[in-house]
A and B are shown apart, each in its own frame.
Chain A
Amino acid sequence: MNAPRHLLRIQCIGYVARFLGKPVQRVILPAGAHLQTPGSQHNYGQLLRPFHCSAVCSTSRPSQTQLEKTVEDETLNKDKSLVTHDDLFERAARDSKTKADFNRVVDVFSKKDIRRRGHVEFIYAALKKMPEFGVERDITVYNKLLDVFPKEVLVPRNFIQRMFNHYPRQQECGVQLLEQMEIYGLMPNVETKVLLAQIFGEKSHPMRKYQRIMYWFPKFKHANPFPVPHVLPSDPVELARFSLTRIADDLDAKISIYQYPSTDITEPGEEVMRPHIVGIQSPDQRSLLAKHNSCRPVFVEGPFPLWLRKTCVHYYLLRADPIPPEEKVEEEFDLEMIGPEQSLFYPQRVELDLERDMGDDFSFSVDDVEEGPVYAMCMAGQGDQATLSQWISGLQETCPILGQIPTVFRLDSGPRELQTSSGAQQTPEQEVETEQIIEEEPLLSQRVKL
């Protein structure tokens, strides 16, 4: 909210400073702070943030936590030991890894030293740790990280500095941060822009990167007509419902839940898991199935994978072989009713010995490969024959003919599990359906794009 105002002010101050010379800056800044209407504490803090000078920065540390001690030790011993910032994060959050913990680490780092020594390394380390803390998609965290950079000092002040790569490491780090946002599909906001302007100046590489992101991101935001939400439903039935409608892509298709997941306890005390069975079938499929020649078998096939971002689910098909040409029945039309002579409504056919002219024939010649019809699809908690037969018997309620058709189960050995490299990443809900869902390490490119 305040960001544009800051952006404006920083530009004004820039001019004033240029006009009066460097010393003025320190005098003006606190005054600027006082000029601000009596805002909230938060407001005040934000106002101070852009201008980190020794006069403003408080050195008092009301409660020195364990973490801060660690950090202090680290900085003190920096010359002696090679403690990396990775360890800082590791140590800071041994038991829990949340956004709050992450923020705490960043705060501690920012407060411990007004000169922010080693901030580039810190930011790189933080970027690397972000997915672990689950904050890789949080714009506020990125802004907070950007805030670690010292303000003003990296902005080129004359044309020579502007011409050459001013503070290349810092700029590269800034670009890397934006790059990571880009990879996670995160759109920078105005605050990011304000920070970048304060840190690197108006025409720096990170600013350019920001501008490019802002040019392309909105354009590609809705490029996918079938978006998958970042957070998938945790309920397996809901997930199956979502996946099946996604595959079927027929607005008439109806989802039926043949069985809800439940656990029964039998007499001897054994737990019997009843897996969920969710199926989808469109009216067209139903009528096709009703016309199926009952001498020919139908097949239950699967599992086939469906990837939803990093999650893989599996589905099963009820399909048949393509109808052999000799069995195909051409639907007979009564020419009296659809032919040219009829005037009850309108002729659906004209009897002319003329084909469409080549110049108006826009159809491509495509080799049509005939495939067998798919009659229904389902997703189930277990891929064994017993479970799937339950699905078939459920289908019989709407398509009684299925009872007379031989059904062949052609099932693979069940969903092959890819061993996940980071088991810790799996949330508890996802673990429930390990059979179907496989996590994969995000592909994080480390390239630096400018």
Chain B
Amino acid sequence: MNLNKLIVLSRSVKLGRNVFAARGACLHHFQSRRFIRSSARSLAYAKDLFLGKVNKAEVFPYPEISHEELEEINQLVQPVEKFFNEDVDSMKIDHEAVIPPETLNGLKELGLFGIQIPEEYGGLGLSNTMYARLGEITSLDGAIAVTLAAHQAIGLKGILIAGNDDQKAKYLPKLATGEHIAAFCLTEPGSGSDAASIQTRATLTEDAKHFLLNGTKFWISNGGWADIMTVFARTEVVDKDGQRKDKITAFIVERAFGGVTSGKPEDKLGIRGSNTCEITFEDTKVPIENVIGEVGGGFKVAMNILNNGRFSMGSAGAGLIKRLIELTSEYACTRKQFSRSLSEFGMIQDKFATMTLNVFVMESMAYLTAGMMDRPGVPDCSLEAAMVKVFSSEGSWICVSEALQVLGGLGFTKNYPYERYLRDCRILQIFEGTNEILRMYIALTGMQYAGKILTGKIKEMKKGNVGVVFEILGKKLKDSVVRTVDFGLTGKDGVVHPSLTESARMFEQNAAHFGSTVESLLYRYGKTIVEEQLVLKKVADVLINLYAMTAVLSRTSRSISIGLRNHDHEVLLTNTFCKDAHFKNNFLLTQLQKNSPENNDANIKKIAQEVLAKRAYVCSHPLDRTF
């Protein structure tokens, strides 16, 4: 007996609806039970969605910044925008595969190398939200954006979040001015996205004052010119039981320590101006004071750095697409074809709508996440940040490609920047954790969270506990009778503006459905869910859609309420996006049901297995004959 059978059963019982309707009142407590179970401190919005809970206090109202901050950021944005429009020659950077020193100096003067470094260390000391805002502009040149991100989003972030005061005082001032450039050295030849197999080793010298670092790191952004590096290496640690174990430790390594050699810069498809190369450490002597955090605690440091770095990709993508909309719409409105301008054609309009929707959603998600991260305390937003990264990297790719398509053949030439944007944009889906890995991370983290809470209940169910079975049955029955799910987003005390009621309802339906799907997946797969990557991919996609819906609902509700300019357009976008996402979610959730005819997973796996066993396309040529 499993959950799906119960669902079927509950459907068949629908006929007896009238009989049970009388008992509706006593069934009601099953519904309300859902809200009782919640952790004491709820900071995780996305994780709670796995339980079918909408933790609306987390995401409503949409985060705001203070007047002073807004003024400050506006003052900052203008010169940066001017600099990027006038002094940055992206085509030259791309062609020569190097950022000219005067451009770098300009960036340093603007303080863009120390955006998040506190003012006491000479940085701008901006919040995540303001960092995201600047990211919108820096993204206009992919190479510069990556260089800056490698420097401060990951390169020096370790010192910033886990370093002690001495380390901060020693390194941050020079890093903030851009005198020193930082890099983040985690990836190794043998361990692409698998950090567990780090081979670089740090051994303590006999005087116990230094570590000797040996190993090679791959794909290091800024590797060629970085002066300060955050390096992760294995160290031997004696754990509680007195056993020697290999643990990962984070070090601050100066190039001046010696024994550091960088290889030739990689010749890349996109972001060509950024410097990516291999770094080899050979008996590099690192003083023991340069350990970030504690010895053996490097893994957590690495995790925190990466978790926090990802959210800014949303605003970066949005900034880029906004610029592309300006460029392409000018072309579409002036170019005549068949004696009509391009902008009159439905298919062209479709492309602009796609781009607009994507920008809108990316922006909403990015600033919602940034706002959550800026809240006091240590909120765990790694899931949200990962979702922003996945959504915006894929959205950007689609939008850039559509923008190029509007120009047709012209977009394909080097005379226009579209092909460069397309190439630059491709890396977004690859670095800082590939989208595949992030999807796994999103789905599994949530599954783990939900599983911990639901295990007891599912076990009871598996044992065939009549009470629990009836409870579930009753809940299903009620769901099918009442049909509407109410998380309190709309209505009297609702947080969503009434003009978005329909969209909010769609979101609520999906969220409730998602909760029950997660439950049935846990019931079906238990801990072997880790192996079900195709299932997890769908789970992650539904969650990303749900989070995106939340973000746009929250943002637009605020816009309407405070009367931002063109908020009617936002309503339009929100309703359009929510409807679209609702259907997508319904399809994905149907696919996740057992024995769903829409689910092609088994076939997909089989196709791949047969092809991979031969390592070639297996079909005969259509022109082949047997006689």
Is there an interface contact between B627 and A347, defined as CB atoms closer than 8 Å? no
Is there an interface contact between A347 and B196, defined as CB atoms closer than 8 Å? no
Note all chain B residues with C-beta closer than 8 A to A350. Answer: 444, 447-448, 451, 527, 529-530
Is there an interface contact between B196 and A338, defined as CB atoms closer than 8 Å? yes
Is there an interface contact between A340 and B627, defined as CB atoms closer than 8 Å? no
Whether A367 is near chain B, meaning CB under 8 Å from some CB there, is: no
Contacts A337-B299, A345-B195: A354 and B441 contacting too (C-beta < 8 A)? no
Is there an interface contact between B594 and A359, defined as CB atoms closer than 8 Å? yes
Expressed in whole angstroms, the minimum distance between the Cβ of A71 and any Cβ of chain B is 36
Is there an interface contact between A337 and B527, defined as CB atoms closer than 8 Å? no
Note all chain A residues with C-beta closer than 8 A to B459. Answer: 353-354
Stretch binding the partner chain, chosen from B301-309, B389-397, B500-508: B301-309
Q: How far is the CA of A221 from the CA of B626 in the complex (A)?
A: 7
Is there an interface contact between B627 and A218, defined as CB atoms closer than 8 Å? yes
Whether A344 is near chain B, meaning CB under 8 Å from some CB there, is: yes
Expressed in whole angstroms, the minimum distance between the Cβ of B298 and any Cβ of chain A is 10
Expressed in whole angstroms, the minimum distance between the Cβ of A356 and any Cβ of chain B is 5
Note all chain A residues with C-beta closer than 8 A to B523. Answer: 354, 357
Contacts A218-B627, A352-B455, A352-B522: A340 and B437 contacting too (C-beta < 8 A)? no
Whether A251 is near chain B, meaning CB under 8 Å from some CB there, is: yes
Whether A308 is near chain B, meaning CB under 8 Å from some CB there, is: no
Contacts A221-B626, A343-B382: A355 and B527 contacting too (C-beta < 8 A)? yes
A351 is contacted by which of B246, B433, B437, B448 (Cβ under 8 Å)?
B448
Expressed in whole angstroms, the minimum distance between the Cβ of A221 and any Cβ of chain B is 5
B448 is contacted by which of A214, A222, A251, A352 (Cβ under 8 Å)?
A352
Q: How far is the CA of A218 from the CA of B626 in the complex (A)?
A: 6
| Nearest CB in chain B to that of A251: its residue | B615
For A200-243 the 0/1 string (1 means CB < 8 A from B) is 00000000000000100110011000000000000000000000
Across chains A and B, the number of contacting residue pairs, with CB separation under 8 Å, is: 109
B524 is contacted by which of A251, A334, A338, A357 (Cβ under 8 Å)?
A357
A-side binding surface: helix, strand, loop or mixed? Answer: loop
| Nearest CB in chain A to that of B191: its residue | A345
A214 is contacted by which of B247, B248, B627 (Cβ under 8 Å)?
B627
Note all chain A residues with C-beta closer than 8 A to B118. Answer: none
Contacts A217-B627, A357-B524: A342 and B448 contacting too (C-beta < 8 A)? no
Note all chain B residues with C-beta closer than 8 A to A189. Answer: 627
Which residues of chain B from 414 to 451 have a CB within 8 Å of any chain A CB? Answer: 433, 437-438, 440-441, 444-445, 447-448, 451
Is there an interface contact between B627 and A346, defined as CB atoms closer than 8 Å? no
For B189-221 the 0/1 string (1 means CB < 8 A from A) is 000011110000000000000000000000000
Expressed in whole angstroms, the minimum distance between the Cβ of A287 and any Cβ of chain B is 14
| Nearest CB in chain A to that of B304: its residue | A343
Given contact pairs A350-B447, A352-B527, A354-B527, enumerate 7 new A-B contacts (beta carbons under 8 Å): A217-B626, A222-B626, A343-B307, A343-B445, A345-B437, A351-B527, A352-B452
Binding site for B on A (CB under 8 A): 187, 189, 214, 217-218, 221-222, 251, 333-334, 336-338, 340, 342-357, 359-360
5 A-B pairs with the lowest CB-CB distances in the bound complex, closest first: A354-B526, A346-B441, A218-B626, A346-B440, A337-B196
Of the A-B pairs whose beta carbons lie under 8 Å apart in the complex, a sample of 13, sorted by A's number, is A217-B626, A218-B626, A334-B196, A337-B195, A343-B441, A344-B306, A350-B527, A351-B448, A351-B527, A357-B462, A357-B526, A359-B2, A360-B594
